[in-house]
Amino acid sequence: MTTTLVLPDPITDEIISGARNPLECAGVLLARRVVTGDAVRLLGRSLHWVELSAYAEQSAWHLKIRSEGYVGALGRAEADAAIPIWFHTHPGETGVPLPSHHDEQVDRDIADLFQLRSGSGFYGTLIASPRGSGFAFSGALQHETDGMSLIDRVWSVGERWRLIQKISASAPVSDAIFDRNVRAFGPAIQSVLGDLRIAIVGAGGTGSAVAEQLVRLGVRHLFLVDNDVLSASNVTRVYGSTLRDVGRPKVDVLRDHLRAIAPDLVCETIQGMATLKPVAKSLCASDVVFGCTDDNAGRLVLSRLSTYFLTPVIDLGVLLSSDSSGTLSGIDARVTILAPGSACLVCRNRIDMARASAELKTPEERQRLADEGYAPALGQVEPAVVAFTTAVAAAAVNELLDRLIGYGPPERPNETLLRLHEREISTNRALPRDAHYCHAAQAKWGVGDEEPFLGQLWPAE
């Protein structure tokens, strides 16, 4: 079982700052624990530093802290239904973030108190040392009855996305087939691509183009979600499909194609809709989600998932416009990045709430309301062309690479608009609305698996 600590930028920045302090320093990191399949995710909620007055001893290689330095944070953990993680630093670029004999004794001394006072039954540890612009770490999670497990990776999300393996992890060896990639962005990023868990919601024209590019880049863990079967008209856009595949689930067609490219690919599939709670819950184990669905209700789910589970979502779509004579007049596409600190799709007015509400109803209810004029008619077939769906897919994959590598401007836009008919590209940057769920002040960042799930109502399964 892989354990990932997910941190929003503000907490990551605090850890980096603390690690650079020439003196050891400490605090209590609060995190919500979510288990999905064989994945455990610890969603960072807040970091509470030990006050200077609580240090009995503090040097570059030693700490001694009085209990008032951390007991208050344990009460906050209980109030927030969070796990307390005892965090401290081992300073210096050559510092080794592994527990010393003294650290192990401290763990034995305070574990029971942390488990009891937080009401969680858990005691976590995290040790960090500075490494360039980031940090190296080791960590563990101990339950009062179920033993201990290591924290395997830290996934930091916000402006930049950084995946950090535990310090004891084996150094990866890049496959020769990725030589051109490594020449472009180095072996470290190639290793990150191979370890990322990426979900794609929608296996049609945009989703299949995203999937193929990701696999050819070296992504080896994919999760595909789509409810539809392949139709004859899909074959002109869905990568890997042929007329022989008509009638098969799109996720199966795409999975088989991707495995032919990369036999070592781990590819899970669900033939279902993200608007059903079990399907939405299955997305919670992903590091990144590409939203390639064309329904508003699905986008609403992914928008909330990004905030509640600290999961970056890259949402994309393309719209073709024609005049009355059938002449193509507009090719408009959008790639929107959803991550802690950026505006959600609702704040951006990118979701038609009336259509989303109608899409969440049963087909019978939807038709009745449409007939009565209370809901928009749904299910119209929109025009689509492979050249344009592929173009927006490439723009979306570029956003993933930029946030991992950092080749773009430091003040990254969180939306790209493509007007292909005018050969024009523009970007913008939007922040959350005050009092909206995606705003940090609402304390929904990393809230995890609360009920109602994602803070919304769900249709009957």
Q: What is the pLDDT of residues 82-122, one digit of tens each?
A: 999 999 999 999 999 999 999 999 999 999 999 999 999 99
What single string gives the DSSP state of each residue in 388-457?
A: HHHHHHHHHHHHHHHHHH--S-SS--SEEEEEGGGTEEEEE---PPTTSTTSGGGT-TT--S-SSGGGS-
Q: What DSSP state is assigned to residue 229?
A: B
pLDDT at residue 458, rounded to an integer: 87
Could you tell me the CA-to-CA distances from 198 to 78, 188, 258, 286, 296 in Å, in that order?
32, 18, 14, 6, 21
Of the pLDDT bands very low, low, confident and very high (cuts 50, 70, 90), residue 360 is confident
The letter for the amino acid at 230 is L
pLDDT at residue 327, rounded to an integer: 84
In whole angstroms, what is the distance from residue 107 CA to residue 114 CA?
Answer: 10
Q: Which two tokens mark 426? A: 């523009």
Q: Quick one: average pLDDT of 311-335?
A: 91
Quick check: 167 and 128 in contact, CB under 8 A? no
pLDDT at residue 1, rounded to an integer: 87
pLDDT at residue 58, rounded to an integer: 96
pLDDT at residue 452, rounded to an integer: 94
Of the pLDDT bands very low, low, confident and very high (cuts 50, 70, 90), residue 380 is low
pLDDT at residue 381, rounded to an integer: 66
> Is residue 318 over pLDDT 90?
yes
pLDDT at residue 103, rounded to an integer: 96
Q: Higher confidence at residue 308 or residue 171?
A: 308
Percent of the chain with pLDDT over 90: 85
Q: Quick one: average pLDDT of 316-330?
A: 87
pLDDT at residue 347, rounded to an integer: 95
> Is residue 369 over pLDDT 80?
no
Tens-place pLDDT, residues 392-435: 999 999 999 999 999 988 889 999 999 999 999 999 999 999 99
Of the pLDDT bands very low, low, confident and very high (cuts 50, 70, 90), residue 287 is very high
**221-225 vs 266-270, strand pairing mode:** parallel
Mean of pLDDT over the chain? 93
Backbone angles phi, psi at 45, to 5 degrees: -110, -45
- 253 - beta bridge partners? none
Question: Where are the chain's structural domains?
Answer: 2-165, 176-453
- With CA atoms as reference, report the closest residue to 238 among 218, 257, 261, 222: 257
Tens-place pLDDT, residues 90-100: 999 999 999 99
pLDDT at residue 4, rounded to an integer: 98
Tens-place pLDDT, residues 135-154: 999 999 999 898 899 999 99
Question: How many Å separate Cα 130 from the centre of its chain?
Answer: 24
Of the pLDDT bands very low, low, confident and very high (cuts 50, 70, 90), residue 377 is low
- Residue 347 makes CB contacts below 8 A (sequence gap 6+) with 430, 432, 433, 436, 438
Of the pLDDT bands very low, low, confident and very high (cuts 50, 70, 90), residue 376 is low
pLDDT at residue 363, rounded to an integer: 57
Sign of CA dihedral 114, 86, 72, 81: negative
Percent of the chain with pLDDT over 70: 95
- Global pTM? 0.94
Tens-place pLDDT, residues 57-72: 999 999 999 999 999 9
pLDDT at residue 364, rounded to an integer: 64
CATH 3.40.140.10 given to domain 2-165: yes
In whole angstroms, what is the distance from residue 345 CA to residue 424 CA?
Answer: 22
Q: Which two tokens mark 49? A: 């530093």
In our burial notation (b when 16+ CB lie closer than 10 A, e otherwise), range 60-99 reads: eeebebeeebbebbbebbeebbbbbbbbbbbbeeebebeb
CATH 3.20.20.10 given to domain 176-453: no
